[in-house]
């Protein structure tokens, strides 16, 4: 008889001891009796001897004999469980794939990730060469414990630099994790990186099917794949010989998971890098304040790229004071309208950015001043005129658009503030012959629709794109030569200590699309 510590997928602070009649590997999934019920768990340790203080129960069955993770990964998972105060068994259940099928899932017998000799070669600028040298310098790695910031302006070729670092790491026989803040950025990054490698390049994010996630996870755990690209959850990939972690757009708040197991994938990348003695590259055009500060304190090495590739210049910026300027429409200045018209005549594309979806910020009664609020959150409800609803963007509460005031019963209501719907209507009325596209989380549902929208833009079948921050996250729009930011200072008023920092980041990122 063999004895094991098993972490159950229930809120237990410690692992529980069980017995079984044969040898099991650490990291396999089992079904165990727990009280009067049963649950799944993961074998995390083989015990040297039988526990004397109590009688052990027997593992009901082995749910999956494949190893989901290795002892090296378990060190990291235990750290996460302890630091974020989340039971280890539930942590493992949260981060590992679940796949239920009557037929066993076949794991591909592919060649491990390797360098593609015929892959495209980059003609680096002097700054890119310098950044690459800093990121791969052994002395810098020793001095800064492998922690690096790659700070490059938008369009400076940061991706090309870290693709070369990935190549170096794969040549050394090490594994690589690349994480991005949004699922929407994964396909284009996979396409760019995959061109340089043969074999398995695994993808991990919530947009793939459970079966795909299981297959990709097991390819990583078995060593068939040595390179994974994904959203924040890819930081938990079960790679055994990790040598490099890249966090693209490291400043982005989407790296934070805010339900169940709450974690920050950017911070975990640094922890994981320390455990595996791996190099960590944080990449951004607008680094977070704390990351930049750590560079000034010489905790991270700093590699900078200040110029765009191909001799392209950065866009110039003009600030328009809406209190002093003449208006072409309700929310569009004459200057912006004139510049849009000029770009349309040249068959060039325009982005109009406003970081607020819906039609209006709220609906207010002119007679008594009442504004409609969420009964759960006590924040104002946003008007979505297309849907005929008032929506709470926090909890999802909704109600039909009101015909009268809840307090004084007056029908003298008006829409205050503006969002993408309202700006879209304004632009459409000003430029009747232009082809418009709205991109926000209301109009773009899922990865496929987003891919279709990006395809329309890249084929130049759209003249003006009106959207939210979905437009400002790493997309490459070669045809866009003008960006108009509506109410650029609005987000400065948000009750958030990072309001000014995030406003700067959003403006810089979306401006960089030009």
- Taking only the tens place, the pLDDT of each residue in 440-486 is 888 887 777 888 888 899 999 999 999 998 887 767 888 999 999 99
Task: Give the start-end residues of each E strand in 35-131.
Answer: 37-46, 57-58, 61-64, 114-115
- pLDDT score, position 445: 79
- pLDDT score, position 117: 46
The yes-or-no verdict on residue 265 having pLDDT over 90 is: yes
Q: Which residues contact 167 (CB under 8 A, 6 or more apart)?
A: 115, 196
- pLDDT score, position 444: 83
Q: Is 312 exposed, middle or buried (0-12, 13-18, 19+ CB in 10 A)?
A: exposed
- pLDDT score, position 115: 61
Report the distance separating Cα 355 and Cα 71, nearest Å.
44
pLDDT-based confidence at 315, cuts 50/70/90?
confident
Which candidate, 210, 230, 227, places its Cα nearest to that of 113? Answer: 227
Between the alpha carbon of residue 331 and those of residues 194, 245, 320, 424, 478, the distances in Å are 43, 44, 12, 10, 27
Query: Dihedral of CA 18/23/29/31: which sign?
Result: negative
Dihedral, 74, 79, 82, 87 alpha carbons, nearest 10: -30
For 141-198, the pLDDT digits (tens) are 999 999 999 999 998 999 999 999 999 999 999 999 999 998 777 777 888 888 888 7
The yes-or-no verdict on residue 109 having pLDDT over 90 is: no
For 154-169, the pLDDT digits (tens) are 989 999 999 999 999 9
pLDDT-based confidence at 103, cuts 50/70/90?
low
Q: What is the largest CA-CA distance in the chain?
A: 84
Phi, then psi, of 352 in degrees rounded to 5: -115, 115
Residue 11 or 472, more confident: 11
Tokens describing residue 233: 């959850």
For 205-253, the pLDDT digits (tens) are 888 889 999 999 999 999 999 999 999 999 999 999 999 999 999 999 9
Instruction: Determine the average pLDDT of the residues in 378-387.
Output: 90
Query: Dihedral of CA 357/396/361/365: which sign?
Result: positive
Q: What is the mean pLDDT of the chain?
A: 90
Instruction: Determine the average pLDDT of the residues in 377-400.
Output: 91
CB 45 within 8 A of CB 122: no
pLDDT-based confidence at 293, cuts 50/70/90?
very high
- pLDDT score, position 198: 78
- pTM of the predicted model, to two decimals? 0.90
- pLDDT score, position 15: 93
Angle between helical axes of 88-95 and 71-83 (0-180°, round to 10): 110
Instruction: Determine the average pLDDT of the residues in 43-68.
Output: 93
200 beta partners: 225
Instruction: Determine the average pLDDT of the residues in 18-32.
Output: 95
Q: Is 365 left (phi over 0), alpha (psi -120 to 50) or beta?
A: beta
Report the distance separating Cα 58 and Cα 33, nearest Å.
8
Number of other CB atoms surrounding residue 74 within 10 Å: 19
């Amino acid at each position: 008889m063999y004895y094991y510590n098993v972490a159950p997928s229930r809120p237990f602070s410690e692992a529980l001891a069980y017995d079984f009649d044969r040898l099991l590997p650490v990291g396999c999934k089992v079904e165990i009796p727990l009280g009067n019920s049963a649950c799944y768990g993961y074998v995390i340790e083989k015990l040297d001897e039988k526990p004397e203080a109590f009688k052990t129960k027997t593992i009901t069955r082995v749910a999956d004999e494949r190893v989901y993770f290795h002892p090296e990964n378990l060190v990291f998972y235990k750290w996460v469980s302890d630091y974020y105060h989340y039971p280890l068994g539930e942590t493992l259940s949260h981060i590992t794939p679940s796949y239920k099928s009557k037929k066993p899932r076949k794991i591909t017998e592919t060649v491990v990730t390797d360098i593609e000799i015929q892959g495209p070669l980059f003609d680096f600028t002097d700054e890119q060469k310098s950044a690459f040298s800093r990121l791969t310098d052994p002395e810098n790695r020793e001095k800064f414990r492998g922690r690096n910031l790659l700070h490059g302006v938008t369009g400076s070729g940061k991706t090309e630099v870290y693709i070369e670092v990935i190549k170096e790491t794969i040549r050394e026989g090490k594994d690589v994790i690349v994480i991005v803040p949004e699922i929407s950025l994964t396909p284009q990054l996979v396409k760019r990186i995959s061109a340089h490698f043969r074999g398995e390049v695994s993808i991990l994010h919530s947009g793939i099917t459970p079966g795909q996630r299981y297959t990709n996870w097991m390819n990583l755990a078995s060593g068939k794949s040595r390179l994974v690209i994904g959203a924040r959850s890819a930081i938990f990939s079960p790679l055994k010989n990790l040598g490099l972690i890249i966090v693209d757009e490291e400043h982005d708040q989407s790296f934070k998971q805010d339900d169940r197991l709450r974690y920050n994938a950017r911070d975990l990348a640094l922890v994981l890098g320390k455990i595996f003695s791996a190099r960590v590259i944080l990449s951004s055009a607008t680094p977070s304040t704390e990351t930049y500060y750590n560079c000034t304190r010489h905790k991270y090495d700093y590699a900078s790229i200040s110029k765009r590739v191909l001799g392209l210049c950065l866009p110039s910026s003009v600030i328009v004071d809406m209190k002093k300027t003449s208006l072409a429409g309700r929310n569009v200045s004459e200057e912006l309208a004139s510049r849009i018209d000029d770009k349309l005549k040249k068959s060039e594309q325009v982005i109009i950015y406003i970081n607020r979806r819906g039609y209006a910020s709220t609906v207010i009664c002119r007679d008594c001043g009442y504004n409609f609020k969420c009964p759960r959150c006590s924040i104002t409800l946003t008007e979505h005129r297309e849907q005929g609803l008032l929506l709470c963007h926090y909890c999802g509460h909704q109600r039909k658009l009101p015909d009268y005031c809840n307090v004084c019963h007056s029908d003298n209501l008006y829409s205050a503030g503006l969002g993408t719907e309202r700006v879209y209507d304004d632009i459409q009325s000003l430029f009747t012959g232009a082809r418009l596209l709205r991109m926000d989380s209301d109009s773009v549902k899922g990865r496929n629709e987003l891919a279709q929208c990006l395809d329309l833009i890249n084929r130049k079948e759209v003249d003006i794109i009106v959207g939210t921050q979905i437009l400002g996250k790493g997309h490459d729009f070669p045809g866009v030569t003008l960006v108009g930011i509506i109410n650029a200072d609005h987000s400065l008023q948000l009750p958030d200590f990072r309001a000014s920092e995030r406003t700067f980041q959003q403006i810089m990122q979306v401006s960089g699309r030009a």
